[in-house]
């Protein structure tokens, strides 16, 4: 799915902003083991076809890539909103840095705790798979979101947007920002093992092979590990190593901010542009100073809210994760049904394109 046109996006922005007003407390980072909402007996059930609101309280382990990245705090606001509707308990756990081997002990611990469901953004799809499979064997429902565990190691993966759509958008924005769609471009990614970034990058490369992009030369892909300091160093390294660089493409909210700061502070906004996936509030000033005229993202709280609802519906038995199953979530997808697709993937959609015409209308 391609990002929506500016006109359509503005209309959707209002809904997003309202959602944020309704469900965020400022997006503060949660400490490991923090919880929300009242805890009651887990394992509520509902008749098949019933809404999640009728599903009763459950206990859900929330395991983001790391607990420092504000992206996952934003997602948690949506998870908390869903939990609050049913009195469910959310147990947030996770590493201080996005490393798959550091996620494994948390999966084991949540399994021992016999939570009803785990919502995970995987730092590496294969590393976490054996323990997620063990959790599933113990009766725990596993919802991958944002960055997918390996197929077979989750019941449903909630994807923010269609992978190939993001790949096309990244290539298109680079083309739009490079003079006459020509010159050197480089990618500043998150962790090298991140399933979501790797999928987007692969599909961006496929897109770049098209005739329209023949003037663009992808000179490097570097990894900032979703850490501000590492991302900053990597962005500085790109500027030094590639004096003719025209665009840095950072498909990570941490990387795009670091790259924009580096380019802006180096006084290079006239010759090097930054694009990718970022929060409007982080990037507004870089839209204005010309460093980052266009970038995109989806509603991160909506992604969390949908992930919670999918977890609740799996626990209640309303869905099993089988391809072709449908379900609705009030307030999302214009109240129309979602359909579980191949590899048990559900796509949130749509994402937004941000530029000078609309970025000020967003507040997240």
CB of 346 to ligand RAM, least distance (A): 16
The H or E element spanning position 62 is: strand 59-63
169 counts as binding ligand RAM under rule CB under 6 A: no
292 counts as binding ligand RAM under rule CB under 6 A: no
Residue 346: burial class (beta carbons within 10 Å; 0-12, 13-18, 19+): buried
Residue window 86-115: x/- pattern of binding to ligand RAM, with contact defined by CB under 6 A: ------------------------------
Residue nearest to ligand RAM (CB): 71
226 counts as binding ligand RAM under rule CB under 6 A: yes
Please give the Cα distance from 285 to 188 (Å, whole number).
20
Do 186 and 249 touch, CB atoms closer than 8 A? yes
**By rule CB under 6 A, what count of residues binds ligand RAM?**
14
Q: Which of 30, 36, 159, 253 binds ligand RAM (CB under 6 A)?
A: 253
Q: Which stretch binds ligand RAM (CB under 6 A): 35-43, 65-73, 265-273, 325-333?
A: 65-73
Q: Which stretch binds ligand RAM (CB under 6 A): 22-30, 50-58, 207-215, 246-254?
A: 246-254
Q: Which stretch binds ligand RAM (CB under 6 A): 109-117, 232-240, 249-257, 288-296?
A: 249-257
Going from the C-alpha of 30 to that of each of 21, 33, 181, the distances in angstroms are 19, 8, 42
254 counts as binding ligand RAM under rule CB under 6 A: yes
193 counts as binding ligand RAM under rule CB under 6 A: no
Of 284, 253, 306, give the one whose Cα is nearest residue 68. 253
Nearer to ligand RAM, 287 or 303 (CB): 303
Q: How many CA atoms lie within 13 A of 307 on its CB side?
A: 37
Q: Are strands 351-354 and 295-298 parallel, antiparallel or unpaired?
A: antiparallel
The alpha carbon of 207 is separated from its chain's Cα centroid by a whole number of angstroms, namely: 21
Q: Which of 20, 71, 173, 362 binds ligand RAM (CB under 6 A)?
A: 71
Map residue 360 onto helix, strand or coil. Answer: helix
CB of 124 to ligand RAM, least distance (A): 12
147 counts as binding ligand RAM under rule CB under 6 A: yes
196 counts as binding ligand RAM under rule CB under 6 A: yes
Of 248, 281, 252, 280, give the one whose Cα is nearest residue 263. 248
Q: Which of 55, 166, 170, 190 binds ligand RAM (CB under 6 A)?
A: 190
Q: Which of 80, 85, 131, 146 binds ligand RAM (CB under 6 A)?
A: 146
Footprint of ligand RAM on residues 8-27 (CB under 6 A)? none
Nearer to ligand RAM, 272 or 348 (CB): 348
CB of 282 to ligand RAM, least distance (A): 10
Please give the Cα distance from 61 to 67 (Å, whole number).
13
Chain position carrying tokens 């519906």? 313
Q: What is the residue-wise DSSP string for 264-301?
A: HHTT-TTT-EEEEB--HHHHHHHHHTTS-S-EEEE-HH
Provide the terminal-to-terminal Cα distance of the chain, rounded to the nearest Å: 22
The alpha carbon of 184 is separated from its chain's Cα centroid by a whole number of angstroms, namely: 27
Q: Which of 79, 115, 277, 346 binds ligand RAM (CB under 6 A)?
A: 277
Residues lying near ligand RAM in the complex (CB under 6 A): 65, 69, 71, 121, 146-147, 190, 194, 196, 226, 252-254, 277
């Amino acid at each position: 799915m391609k990002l929506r046109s500016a006109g359509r996006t503005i209309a959707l922005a209002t809904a997003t902003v309202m959602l944020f007003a309704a469900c965020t407390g400022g997006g503060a980072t949660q400490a490991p083991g923090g919880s929300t909402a009242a805890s009651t007996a887990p394992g509520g059930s509902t008749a098949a076809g019933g809404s999640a609101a009728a599903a009763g309280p459950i206990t859900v382990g929330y395991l983001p890539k790391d607990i420092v990245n504000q992206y996952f705090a934003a997602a948690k606001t949506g998870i908390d909103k869903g939990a609050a509707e049913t009195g469910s308990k959310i147990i947030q756990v996770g590493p201080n840095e996005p490393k798959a081997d550091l996620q494994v002990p948390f999966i084991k611990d949540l399994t021992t705790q016999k939570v009803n469901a785990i919502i995970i953004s995987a730092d590496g799809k294969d590393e976490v798979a054996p323990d997620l499979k063990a959790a599933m064997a113990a009766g725990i429902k596993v919802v991958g979101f944002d960055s997918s565990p390996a197929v077979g190691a989750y019941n449903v993966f909630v994807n923010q947007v269609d992978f190939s759509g993001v790949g096309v958008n990244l290539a298109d924005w680079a083309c739009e920002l490079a003079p006459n769609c020509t010159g050197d471009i480089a990618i500043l990614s998150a962790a090298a093992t991140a399933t979501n970034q790797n999928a987007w990058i692969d599909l961006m490369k496929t897109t770049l092979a098209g005739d329209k992009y023949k003037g663009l030369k992808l000179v490097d892909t570097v990894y900032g590990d979703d850490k501000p300091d590492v991302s900053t160093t990597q962005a500085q390294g790109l500027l030094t190593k590639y004096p003719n660089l025209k665009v840095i493409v950072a498909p990570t909210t941490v990387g795009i901010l670091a790259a924009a700061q580096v380019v802006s502070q180096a006084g290079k906004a006239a010759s090097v542009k930054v694009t990718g996936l970022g929060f409007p509030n982080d990037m507004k000033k870089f839209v204005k100073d010309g460093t980052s005229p266009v970038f995109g993202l989806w509603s991160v709280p909506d992604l969390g809210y949908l992930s919670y609802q999918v977890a609740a519906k799996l626990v209640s038995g309303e869905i099993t994760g089988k391809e072709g199953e449908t379900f609705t979530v009030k307030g999302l997808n214009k109240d129309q049904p979602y359909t579980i697709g191949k590899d048990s993937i559900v796509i949130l959609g749509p994402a937004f394109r941000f530029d000078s015409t609309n970025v000020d209308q967003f507040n997240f």
